[in-house]
DNA sequence: TATCAACCTACTATGTCAATATATTTTTGG
DNA sequence: CCAAAAATATATTGACATAGTAGGTTGATA
């Protein structure tokens, strides 16, 4: 299930996209507009910066801004970054240790299929499709 | 993410399907074959009984058995029952309280779309497809 | 009726989620 | 230059979920 981290990350990105005209949007404004704790958003936004999706500018008049054009983001990369993974089962997560049952596992192909289905679904959705 | 509950439930159902010839399969055998703690399986199997997918027969020579033919089960109903829900986001779970943002939520249609995609995917998979 | 197996209740460690609190660094407008 | 503003970093917390374990009771059947 997609948690608040992924959902809030998406809302932050949408907010930034809607205010892409301004060069910088301070987190305080986003938090107020979206009705989400600024402190909690700091954690989420940090991941977005680290993942290279947005840039943070400190100081007076600073804030965050997108590094690409709004229509050049897809939903998949945003929630995958915020959630860490969007794998259907633990053994398909990026950092998963190899499952000893993998070779004989009758269900693994189905999980892979489901994963591919979801991944391509979210990748096909552009950020601007949501605005 | 689908947890051990859902995954183990599926393996129990597959095991029962493979041994559908026997009238009853004791949980002890399933636990040994699948390499899963019998005690933990009891919890999972209880839900499957309560949900009407299998039947438990007590006493000597007892065990569990399917109530339908193996090819009449789909994967979706099994993991949905074991997991409680397979909703993509909390607000789309069966027992979710109404979200006040629902009317204005820009992302809700996408989550609903994703939910429908997953649900129909898992419903289209029959238990016997996995054997 | 003795046995086997389902069924029931309670408990526990570990981890994740969803934040909050406080302190520090960095940047830039005046 | 300096001070306000904003990002960034670290630590902690309560609540809940996950993944089991332990032990006892009921009930069917060979």
Q: Which two tokens stand for residue A37?
A: 């704790």
pTM of the model: 0.95
Contacts of A110 in chain B (CB under 8 A): 75, 125, 130
Predicted confidence (pLDDT) per residue in A21-79, tens digit: 999 999 999 999 999 999 999 999 999 999 999 999 999 999 999 999 999 999 999 99
Q: How far is CA B93 from CA A1, A4, A90, A117, B48, in A?
A: 10, 15, 21, 21, 19
- Could you tell me the sign of the dihedral formed by the alpha carbons of A69, A75, A81, A83, in that order? positive
CA atoms within 13 A on the CB side of A130: 30
pLDDT of residue A106: 97
Residue with tokens 């997108």: A66
The C-alpha torsion from B76 through A90 and B93 to A79, rounded to 10°, is: -120
- Report pLDDT for B102: 95
Q: Determine the pLDDT at residue A103.
A: 95
Q: For chain A, give the mean pLDDT.
A: 97
A26 CA from C28 C1′ (Å): 14
Per residue, what are the HEC states of chain B? CCCHHHHHHHHHHHHHHHCCCCCCECHHHHHHHHCCCHHHHHHHHHHHHHCCCEEEECCCCCEEEECCCHHHCEHHHHHHHHHCCCCCCHHHCCCCCCCCCCCCCCCHHHHHHHHHHHHHHHHHCEHHHHC
Helix orientation angle between B27-34 and B4-18, rounded to the nearest 10 degrees: 110
Say how far apart CA B63 and CA B31 lie, in whole Å: 12
Closest residue by C-alpha to C1' distance, nucleotide D8: A46
pLDDT of residue B35: 96
Using an 8 Å CB-CB cutoff, list chain B residues near A107: 7, 10-11, 14, 130
Q: What is the pLDDT of residue A45?
A: 98
Inform me whether the pLDDT recorded for A110 exceeds 90.
yes
Q: Is residue A95 predicted with pLDDT exceeding 90?
A: no
Q: Which domains does chain B have, with CATH numbers?
A: 4-130 (1.10.10.10)
Q: Is-contact A54 A16, C-beta < 8 A?
A: yes
- In tens, the pLDDT along B35-47 reads 999 999 999 999 9
The two structure tokens encoding residue B89: 């986001």
**So what's the pLDDT on residue A73?**
98
**Is A117's pLDDT higher than 90?**
yes
Judging contacts by C-beta atoms under 8 Å, the chain A residues touching residue B110 are 75, 125, 130
Test A107 with B10 for CB contact under 8 angstroms.
yes
- Hey, is A112 helix, strand or coil? helix
pLDDT values of chain B reduced to their tens digit, one per residue, 131 residues: 999 999 999 999 999 999 999 999 999 999 999 999 999 999 999 999 999 999 999 999 999 999 999 999 999 999 999 999 999 999 999 889 899 999 999 999 999 999 999 999 999 999 999 99
Write the burial class of residue B37 (CB in 10 Å: 0-12 exposed, 13-18 middle, 19+ buried): exposed
Residue A25, exposed/middle/buried by CB under 10 A (0-12, 13-18, 19+)? Answer: buried
**Cβ–Cβ of A107/B7 closer than 8 Å?**
yes
Both tokens of residue A36? Answer: 């989400």
Q: Which pLDDT band holds residue A8 (cuts at 50, 70, 90)?
A: very high
Which residues have CB atoms below 7 Å from chain D, the nucleic strand? A 26-28, 42-43, 45-46, 49, 56-64, 90; B 3-5, 37, 39-40, 42-43, 57-62
**Would the pLDDT of A2 be above 90?**
yes
Q: Please, which positions of strand D sit below 7 A from a protein CB?
A: 3-11, 18-23, 26-30
Residue closest to D20 C1′ by Cα: B40
Helix (H) or strand (E) holding A66: strand A63-66
């Amino acid at each position: 299930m997609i948690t608040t981290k992924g959902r809030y990350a998406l809302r932050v990105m949408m907010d930034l996209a809607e205010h892409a005209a301004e060069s910088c949007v301070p987190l305080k404004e986003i938090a107020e507009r979206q009705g989400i704790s600024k402190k909690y958003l700091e954690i989420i936004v940090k991941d977005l910066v680290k993942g290279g999706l947005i840039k943070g500018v400190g100081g007076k008049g600073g804030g965050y801004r997108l590094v690409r054009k709004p229509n050049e983001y897809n939903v998949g990369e945003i929630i995958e970054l915020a959630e860490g993974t969007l794998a259907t089962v633990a053994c398909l997560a990026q950092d998963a240790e190899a499952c000893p049952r993998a070779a004989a596992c009758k269900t693994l192909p189905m999980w892979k299929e489901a994963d591919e289905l979801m991944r391509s679904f979210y990748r096909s959705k552009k950020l601007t499709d949501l605005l």
